[in-house]
Amino acid sequence: MTTAPPRGADTPRQRLTGPGPFGRLGVWSATHARTVFLLWVVVVAVLGAFAPKVESALSGAGWQANGSQSVAVRQIAQDHFGGNASSAIQVVVHADKPVTDPSVQKVIGQAESIVRGDSRVAAVVPPQPGGTVSPDGHTAIVLAGAKADPNEMVRAADDLKEPLAALSGHGVTVNATGASVLWSDFNTANHSAMIHSEILSWPVTLIILVLAFGSLVAAGLPLLLTMAGLGASAGSLVLLTHLTPVSIWAMNFAMMFALALGIDYALFMVMRFRGARQGGARTTVQAVAETMDTAGKAVALSGATVLVSLSAVMLVPSPAFRSMAGGIMLAVAFVLAATLTLLPAVLAKLGHRIDAAALPWAKVGEHRSPRFAAWGERLWRRPVAYGAGALVVLLALAAPVIGLRTAMPSINVLPGDASARAGYTAVQNAFGPGAPGTLQIAVPSASAPQAAQTAQHTPGIATVLPPQAAADHSGWTMIQAVPKVDPSDPALSQTVHTLRTGLPHGSLVGGAAVENLDLQHLLTQKTPLVIGVVLALGFLLLLIALQAPLVAALGTAASLLSTGAAFGVARLLFQDGHGAGLLGFTPQGFLDGWAPVFFFAMIFAIAMDYTVFLLASAKEHYERTRDVKDAMVGAMAHSGRVIFAAAAVMVAVFFTFAISGPLPPKEMGIVLGVAVLLDAALVRLVLLPVLLRLTGHAAWWTPSWLRRVLPKVTFSHG
């Protein structure tokens, strides 16, 4: 027995006489199926034709803080110092005999010829005694200056590192290193990990879908939908590169998100369609209309929430971040478009054949899950016990977030045999721990002596090379300063800060290591803004969708719990190293710097995805009956199985990244996988239903003034 709705609650609306806007879109797609199919064939064929070029077209760099000192120094070095910028390629030649030996000199000459033959290389500087020849005389560095932008230099590294490595032999080893080679090696390792993960995830995904749908035909629809969205988005990313550089990571994340969300959306739609057809009271077109007016509307709002959450990442002025967010948003937009047009057309054509090739034990027509209905009844009877248990677990897992540290990844994320890592190690062994992170100080020539003096007396600086004036008389002088510590050592940040404070006016400090520090500083600075914008926009969309401020606030707040718990687990694994041996990685002592901003937006987007599914179903029941128990239990019965199955697919997809490849994809897989697992198991299927039970009618109450402001959105179908 439930209490009456409070004063000010919505009164039952008059039943609709026909389908709403989404229902009409579904009817049009169902009755114009050939047109829809033809349009999608054209879209996928035209855009898909560009998809094979995606790996070579997308860029490998862009991890920088636009407007920072370090980016300015890189440009000055490229324009006025023969390309001796952070994006230059260093060829490290190490021999078991002095580098002055004729046989070693021959190899050095061959290395110079190889890099000089690449049009993207500017000046080639041979090894200089006292500078790029080691004190023991066994290691020399050939500098290949950057003539192209950082993205093109990564592609140059792709082409040059293998011919250079082929020069090794007879006691001489040759390795290309530097920031461009690091990103080249990292992208290669990351691509291999992604392919491996995709191969692992597709069979697991198909098995889960077959078990969830109980029918081979129905299980194939999400994969069809995802492939259409992926093909179109991959091709569109290639076209987008003609306007702006797009990070290769954009495609990696887009593939993962498109697969996960495409399956989510198709699950929700197909389950609703089968429920609408049950009993044979509706025609196929009517069933499509009902599906679109209810599940289709929820999918559209969910997709909007995902797009809005990811759009907040655009507030970070870094090309890599913006292009990654843009790539995911593009993939989600295509998957969303396919879900709302192509899927209704396919459902209309299949009709009763949606249940073809059913498993013998499956109840294929069943839309309401008796098991989740029983679970909902149990939560209704003992809300405090179950809610408190879920809350305690989430808070306990979230507690370690308090000590979370972040930094940009070190060289150790690369495989041991990677060219950049081998060259990096050789440079450290020959020139000292800070040599791979040599700082570049660009200073007006008049202030060069004072700047050199300041650098020499700065704590944390081991060596300062003689100032070098620009040959083009641009008025700039470059000073190279070698720090005492490894580029990933936290102490380097203080050294850079001290330098920037003490150098003469107009001096700029840069270098590859400083670019990482500037990006980390930017991310730390922007994280509160991004999180605040994501939460505010998420709440606003839920408010518009559900027309009730309390339930919108509860849905938004609940999403924070699973996010915090996921980052708490990430700290225990990746910072403290618990379970590192099991997962096969060496902890860095911190979480990679992009995780708080980027992963937060991704986790929140996924969490809100489930929130919309659950609360839209609850709203649909509440609009029909004005019974809060029916709203809560009915939502569990009708959406619980979908949330459970969709979460299982997402966890399977994300966790495959945890068992392959370099450390950053492992972080991504673990953080996102844990977040989805906790969100589905403890938040959406326990805590949020309990909150609906405890708040009762108040959850759905809307002040009259707010009702007049908000657009009318309903989930019941007439």
Ramachandran quadrant class, 359 (left: phi over 0; alpha: psi -120 to 50; beta: rest)? beta
Q: Among the residues of 147-178, which ranges form H helices?
A: 150-165
For the chain, the maximum distance between any two Cα atoms, rounded to a whole number of angstroms, is 95
Phi, psi at residue 711, to the nearest 5°?
-70, 150
Looking at every residue in the chain, the average pLDDT score rounds to 88
Share of residues in the chain with pLDDT > 70 (%): 95
The predicted pLDDT at position 654 comes to 84
Residue 443 has φ and ψ, to the nearest 5°, of: -140, 145
Cα separation of 329 and 308, whole Å?
9
Distances (CA, A) of 349 to 30, 191, 343: 7, 38, 10
Tens digit of pLDDT for each residue in 356-390?
766 665 555 556 788 999 999 999 999 999 999 99
- Which segments of 83-186 are extended strands (E)? 89-95, 121-125, 139-146, 172-177
Tokens coding 160: 């040059």
Residue 401 to residues 260, 564, 594: CA-CA distances in angstroms? 26, 7, 15
The number of beta carbons lying within 10 Å of the beta carbon of residue 392 is 10
d(Cα 88, Cα 145) in Å, to the nearest integer?
5
How open is the CA angle 214-218-224, to the nearest 5 degrees? 140
Letter for the amino acid at 417?
D
Give the model's pLDDT for residue 13.
40
| 315 contacts 236 by C-beta, under 8 angstroms | no
Residue ranges of the chain whose pLDDT lies below 50: 1-16, 718
Number of neighbouring beta carbons within 10 Å of residue 389: 15
Alpha-helical segments (H) within 457-579: 491-502, 512-546, 549-570
Judged by DSSP in three states, 591 sits in strand
Residue among 460, 464, 458 nearest 492 (CA): 460
